[in-house]
Structure 1
Amino acid sequence: MSDDTESARKDTSKSPEEPIEFLPIARSSPRRTISTGYIHLGASREIVPVLRELGLDPDALIRASGLEPCQFEDSTNVVTFASLARLYTLSVASTRCPHLGLLVGRRATILSMDLVGRLMQHSETVGAALDGLVSNLDVQDRAVVASLTNTDGVALLTFAVYSPSTESAEQITDASLAIAVNALRALCGSEWNPIEVLVPRTTPSNPEPYRQHFRAPVRFNQESATLVFPAEDLMRKVAGADPLLRTVLEDRMRQLRADAGAGFSDDIRRLLRTRLLGARCTAEDMAGLLAVHRRTMSRRLRGSGQGYRLMTNQIRFEIARQLLGDTEVPLVEIAAALGYSEASAFTRAFRRWSGQTPTAWRAGWGHDARLPPSAG
């Protein structure tokens, strides 16, 4: 085990509100590059002590999900996201704790995010730290995507699961929000709180654990998993940041990204997952974000066997399924969020994708619905 991995393990055991020591990172520390659908355990390693606290044997559940208990000894171990999501599903069912993901995220610290967390620690400002999180999360996590927007003096940090047919997406996003709050408190001070927190799941019977952790109003049945906070917080200086270490970490991130060889289509999917809700996402818009000509983008997508329209509809279907299954957001609001001028147009599209109306899918949870490969 490398020295910095051992240091991160020690720091991860701290309370989220304790001061976190800024530690150097060894240039030779081994890190595995990952492909789409894989993830470093990171903060999810905390599911082991959470299950023990709730009176269960974590090893049995870990094996039932297709993983091995020894994998949870190191947060940098790489696992399939499908297996990890399955573990959350089994754990929620066994504990009957609907906010298990929140408990997992609540135990994590900024160092639970390994290299990304260290990059955040050594950024000049909070805004630069969050930009580093958004830009580099895919180095360690190829199933969750983050975005940061700043509008009218309000900053929005949003997380979304973008892998198709993912189990327990609400648990994963709960954990992501909880970790993000801990990271921001590490950067801004333990008294930092968001203005409000948006959660894309039905209102739980006991919302108090959410209020206690976030120390802010929590709004359920929302379209996205978002922390809302003053944009002026982005300008805060990060105490103890080391510009030299920041440069070393950025170089390491670039190397890992190059080694991973992320596909062009995967980059677009990640951008679409957070931008389809309430934003323009034409082919021209996406090409501009990727700094390529639209014809170049279309040619590269054809090379991967997909077109932009098909990919956009696949992401719309994924978002629609998540909102229909995990929330009580009305159909008219889901339609508007996905860019449809009328609910009837959304209903026609959803029926074409799944063979069911959105109402029928929601009533039956639509577990067997799949997007036909040729849907447009």
Structure 2
Amino acid sequence: MKDPVLPSTNASDPNPIATQRSARTLLPGHIHLGVAKEIVPTLSAFGIDPDPVIRVAGLDPRLFEDGANIIPHAALGRLLTLCVARTHCPHFGLLVGQRATILSLGLVGRLMQHSETVGDALNALVSNLSIQNRGSVPSLTICGETALFTFSVYQPETESVDQITDGSLAVAANAIGAVCGGEWRPMEVLLPRAAPKDPEPFRRHFRAPVRFNQEVATLVFASGDLERKVVGADPLLRAVLEERINAMKDPSASTFVDDIRRLLRTQLTSNRCSAEEIASLLTMHRRTLSRRLKGNGIRYRTLNNEIRFEIARQLLEDTKVPLAEIAAALGYSEASAFTRAFRRWSGQSPLAWRTGLP
């Protein structure tokens, strides 16, 4: 693991806690603590004082007193890297996610609780998580009698992607169980990480078969579950929550590029990522998409390649997925084309990157 890089601090800010709390709209690359707040009790359960570990990651331990506080997504990755090293626990992220509940998802979790059906609840999560997390993105796909809930990290060069993903799927399973009923469980779980020596903690939490070395992190379950009614949902409270969430969304240009990155991360591995298709998802013309990106100083092809490289890097580092399968997942017809592209991005072949050879 790489040594953590400490972010710069602003000594002139007399109250960084208040500054974090005052932010309503998330900037790209930032998250509300939410689920990550559970890092503190998880470390404590190992007999480790959390405060020194949090400080080494470049964060103020006081931030973890309130799940509404905001931190950089990159800092979360650094902190999880340190936590795994200090605890010697390869499934630390899973333990963090286990402790989290639907309420750890803040306003979005509340909205899920008051959605009419389980499908509405998951669509609320997919549509609105960006108000709380600008580093990862969920998606929901229905394939006949099967539903696929996936979760992906899209911020470039984030550390401990496997830990973030483990924890995210763990709390997603908890949240779906909360709106479905306590006996709900997925049919199977797919994880884009190498199989651990002891997979039992994963099987125990998800109560389902777990497959490692997969291309995307996914909860697989019966699509009929989406039709279940959410017990105790209040339509009036739902309307209030939707209004509050919509008021927190930022339509400005500062988040437009980040929104495209989020979309690309969910679409790339399904090969539905042409500029025309992305523009269609945003209900705009292809030329409008290009013009808005150009106004932000970036081209669509650059963003597309950036996300491809990030997915490829994650799969090469965290899994044993064969190169041919990674190439196919990223839309390359031949492994050789993927190898040429990866060499342009990194200066190395995919095999050299995976093995750590120069």
TM range (shorter): over 0.9
Any gaps of 5 or more consecutive residues in structure 1?
A: 1-28, 367-376
Per the alignment, do residues 31 and 301 of structure 1 end up closer, same or farther by CA in structure 2, a change over 3 Å counting?
Answer: closer
CA RMSD of aligned residues (A): 1.4
Distance 1:237 1:261 in 2: 38
The aligned counterpart of 2:144 is 152
Among 181, 198, 202, the residue aligned to 1:206 = 198
**1:257 correspondence with 2:259:** no
Tell me the equivalent position of 1:165.
Answer: 157
| 1:279 Cα deviation after fit | 2.6
The residue that corresponds to 2:294 in the other structure is 302
Report if aligned partners of 1:33, 1:259 keep a CA contact under 8 Å in 2.
Answer: no
1:114 aligned partner? 106
Name whichever of 192-201 and 258-267 sits farther off: 258-267
- Structural mapping, 1:87-166, within 5 Å: 87-166=79-158
Map of 2:18 onto structure 1: none
Aligned to 2:218: 226
1:71 paired to 2:63: yes
> What does residue 42 of structure 1 align with?
34
Q: Against the structure 1 CA distance between its residues 276 and 126, is the aligned structure 2 distance closer, same or farther, given a 3 Å change threshold? A: same
Query: Does the 8 Å contact 1:156/1:228 carry over to 2?
Result: yes
SS of the residue corresponding to residue 319 of structure 1 reads helix
1:54 aligns with one of 35, 39, 46: 46
Count, aligned residues:
338
Return the letter of the residue paired with 2:280. G
Match runs of 1:328-367 below 5 Å: 328-364=320-356
Aligned to 2:221, what secondary structure does the other structure show?
A: strand
Distance (Å, rounded) in 1 between the aligned partners of 2:251 and 2:104:
22
Percent identical among aligned pairs is 64
Give, in angstroms, the shift of residue 260 of structure 1: 7.3
User: What code does the residue aligned with 2:278 have?
Assistant: M
Shift of 1:259: 7.6
* Partner in structure 1 of residue 317 of structure 2: 325
Specify the code of the residue in structure 2 equivalent to 1:116.
V
Offset, 1:261? 6.3
CA distance in 2, matches of 1:304, 1:120: 34
Does the Cα contact within 8 Å between 2:90 and 2:196 map onto a contact in 1?
yes
| Alpha-carbon distance change, 343 to 281 in structure 1, aligned in 2, over 3 angstroms | same
Q: CA deviation at 1:263?
A: 2.3
Aligned partners of 2:344 and 2:245: how far apart in 1? 41
Encode CA deviations 1:67-117: one digit per residue, 9 max, x unaligned. Answer: 111111111111111111111000001111000000000001100111010
Answering whether residue 173 of structure 2 is matched by residue 181 of structure 1, we say yes
How big is the shift at 1:301?
1.0
Contact 1:33 1:260 in 2 (8 A): no
**Contact 2:25–2:250 at 8 Å: present in 1 too?**
no
Alignment gaps of 5+ in structure 2: 1-20
Partners of 2:215 and 2:229 lie apart in 1 by 31
Shift of 1:298: 0.9
TM-score, normalisation: structure 2: 0.92
CA deviations over 1:25-47 (Å, ceiling 9, x no partner): xxxx9773210111100011111
**8 A Cα contact 1:162 1:270, kept in partner:** yes
Query: How far does residue 278 in structure 1 lie from its aligned partner after superposition?
Result: 2.3
Are 1:65 and 1:90, in contact at CA under 8 Å, matched by a contact in 2? yes
> CA offsets per residue over residues 143-164 of structure 1, 9 Å max, x none?
0101001012111110011000
Structure 2 contact 253–296 (Cα < 8 Å) conserved = no
Aligned to 1:24: none
Do 1:130 and 1:148's aligned partners in 2 also have CA atoms closer than 8 Å? yes
Q: Which residue identity is paired with 1:156?
A: L
Go from structure 1 to structure 2 and tell me whether the alpha carbon gap of 1:181 and 1:262 turns closer, same or farther (over 3 Å shift).
farther
In 1, Cα distance between equivalents of 2:221 and 2:91: 23
Q: Which amino acid counterpart does residue 33 of structure 2 have in structure 1?
A: L
Per the alignment, do residues 365 and 242 of structure 1 end up closer, same or farther by CA in structure 2, a change over 3 Å counting?
farther
Q: Offset at 1:221?
A: 0.3
8 Å contact kept, 1:31–1:76 = no
Query: Given the alignment of the two structures, is residue 290 of structure 1 paired with residue 265 of structure 2, yes or no?
Result: no
Q: Taking structure 1 as the reference length, what is the TM-score of the superposition?
A: 0.88
Aligned to 2:15: none
Query: For the structure 1 residues 237 and 272, does the alpha-carbon distance in structure 2 shift closer, same or farther, using more than 3 Å as the test?
Result: same
Which range is displaced more, 255-264 or 299-308? 255-264
2:260 maps to 1:275: no
Q: CA deviation at 1:258?
A: 3.0
Counterpart residue type for residue 191 of structure 1: E
Deviation at 1:257, TM superposition (A): 0.6
Query: Is this contact kept in 1: 2:27–2:255, CA < 8 A?
Result: no
State whether residues 185 and 192 of structure 1, in contact with CA within 8 Å, keep that contact through their aligned partners in structure 2. yes
Which residue pairs with 1:84 in the alignment? 76
